[in-house]
Chains A and B, each alone.
Chain A
Amino acid sequence: MDKLIKNTGINKLIALIVTFVIVQVLISTNIINDYIFSTLVTICINIILAASLNLITGFTGQFSLGHAGFMSIGAYTCAIITLRYSTVWGFVGGLVAGAVFAAMVGFLVGLPTLRLKGDYLAIATLGMAEIIKILFRNVLDDLTNGAAGLRGIPQFINWAWLFLFTAGSVLLISNFINSSHGRACISIREDEIASEAMGVNSTKYKVTAFVTGAFFAGIAGAIYASYFYYLKPDYFAFKKSIDILVIVVLGGMGSISGSVIAAILLALISTYLQAFPELNMVINGALFVIIMIFRPQGIMGSKELSLSLIKKWTGQFGRKNGGAA
């Protein structure tokens, strides 16, 4: 736990506080109205989802197509608990319960399926997410109200909670990646057999990454339930998992800051194209193909956005300009 906090660094802390205060001021002066705030919530949820999927797919190299399944577990758990206990503590308890429950399911699913590799794993996780969806729709329907969905979930998400959970999730995930556990995960992505030969327990780390990813997907789902106060099983279909994957691939598999940038970028595009949802998906599809052909590493590759990287870019830019003059 010490390491998780120590790595943060004072610069990041200042940047986070400044972001928080600026947005808070904008909200209280009503420059960020309800409409913009709902886009902001979507962006934050997508950031958590993409960062957690990136841990599984980008860093550990385990291709998962079932992330929406974990999100739905978090969402439904939190919704059902806050509908019973409609207080802030009910919400926090529901969120934690949702995340823990998603992590537990992640463990149960991950332990057998992570023996599979590449595309087989992708298909198995896809099947898992479909089964979870059908469970919520047809089996647990006295709890979840079946296909009609749950309505009137009390809304507790405000900017403070949203910021706390988003920044917290991203920081914890990136600190996990920078720890020795994270390096073990990355070594599995690079070459599983070689890393096993070096003494890395690959099953343990694959399951750890999977469970951690599921935990944060559960948090994202709980935030979704608590802000949009309406849940239905079909929202968490295959397409949702794909949406999350688009963000990870566009941002760069193996770059948390890439996921953040891509989540913001895609939310802006989809807000802009809100009147044409089909066109939005067509663009997403075309983006996949174009990125894979021309820039398979995504926007950031496996680099992280940092001050030194920005300096390097601006330095190159300056030199180019200097050369021209």
Chain B
Amino acid sequence: MEQFLQQVINGISLGSIYALIALGYTMVYGIIKLINFAHGDVYMIGAYVGYFCMTSFKLGFFPSLLISMLVCAILGVTIEKIAYKPLRNATRIAVLITAIGVSLFIEYGTMFFVKPDPRSYPPLTGLMTRSFRIGNIVFSAQQILIISITVVLMVLLQFIVKKTRIGKAMRAVSLDRDAAQLMGISVDKTISFTFLIGSALAGAAGILVGIYYNSINPLMGMMPGLKAFVAAVFGGIGIIPGAMIGGYFIGLVEVMVAGYGNSMFRDAVVFAILIIILIVKPSGLLGKETREKV
């Protein structure tokens, strides 16, 4: 039982990272119906920005977090302006291929500059190296940090989406783009803002992954990116609470498979979940069935 609870704690901290990345996928999908393959790479950039802030510029953890969120937000908006905006009215496959192109460009462009070898992440200092015990269950300060940052960001996101003017615009555009435009909402601005928020969350996730795994490399965005996408599909793509539930679920499953089964199979299990979900209920856990109109 204690071992099980310990695995749950580990699963929740990994799951919060997936949830942060999945939110970006799901918001972008909700608003322009695009699987943004480049999203995983934006978070890789976030991890590297954090790395350089902490090593080269000797900044603390929280300033680095803010800087990498800012850099990723700018990157996300730039990608949208250059690569996706010209394709607003193109077929969905065309935009998807563009997204794969952007992803390759960022991955290997980064590899060209920072070299492909993995780098070890700077260790946390002071209070954040401690760990706490309740009974025989160990909470590391690192896990508490990851979970609490994620929760704060999610609450902030819910606030923006539900209570602010721009959040209302985002919901309107994702419901019906043409009608939103007729109501005087600037669709382009709203889409840019969605990319901005999604990418900032990915930037935060990047730093948290660096802390969690202690190692970063230019291709690190691919696997967690795909898994976060599975999380978004699991919860119902385009639905914000769905992405959170999906993220935690995938994190828990992965830790459980590694803990009780064979760690070699955790990727396979995640993809098997994806295929089962897609076949059984493609709209996801919280999604509604939609009929195709002729």
Q: Is the CB of B222 within 8 A of A238?
A: yes
CB-defined contacts of B98 to chain A, threshold 8 Å: 288-289, 292-293
Contact of A120 among B90, B94, B278 (CB under 8 A): B278
Within 8 A of A (CB), among B257-294: 262, 264-265, 267-268, 271-272, 274-275, 278-279, 282, 292, 294
A309 adjacent to chain B (CB < 8 Å): no
Q: Is the CB of B294 within 8 A of A193?
A: yes
A116 adjacent to chain B (CB < 8 Å): yes
CB-defined contacts of A126 to chain B, threshold 8 Å: 226
Q: Is the CB of B86 within 8 A of A282?
A: no
Q: Is the CB of B97 within 8 A of A279?
A: no
Chain-A contact segment, one of B12-20, B106-114, B196-204: B106-114
A123 adjacent to chain B (CB < 8 Å): yes
Q: Is the CB of A131 within 8 A of B294?
A: no
Contact of B86 among A115, A116, A276, A293 (CB under 8 A): A293
The dominant DSSP class at the A interface is helix
A90 adjacent to chain B (CB < 8 Å): no
Within 8 A of B (CB), among A253-312: 276, 278-282, 284-289, 292-293, 296
Q: Is the CB of A292 within 8 A of B90?
A: yes
Chain A interface, number of residues (Cβ within 8 angstroms): 40
Q: How many contacts A-B (CB < 8 Å)?
A: 125
Q: Is the CB of B108 within 8 A of A282?
A: yes
The dominant DSSP class at the B interface is helix
Q: How far is the CA of A113 from the CA of B107 in the complex (A)?
A: 29
Within 8 A of B (CB), among A77-124: 112-113, 115-116, 118-120, 122-124
Q: Which residues of A contact B (CB under 8 A)?
A: 63, 112-113, 115-116, 118-120, 122-124, 126-128, 130-131, 134-135, 137-138, 193, 238, 242, 245, 249, 276, 278-282, 284-289, 292-293, 296
Q: Which residues of B contact A (CB under 8 A)?
A: 35, 82-83, 86-87, 90-98, 100-109, 111-112, 116, 222, 226, 229-230, 233, 262, 264-265, 267-268, 271-272, 274-275, 278-279, 282, 292, 294
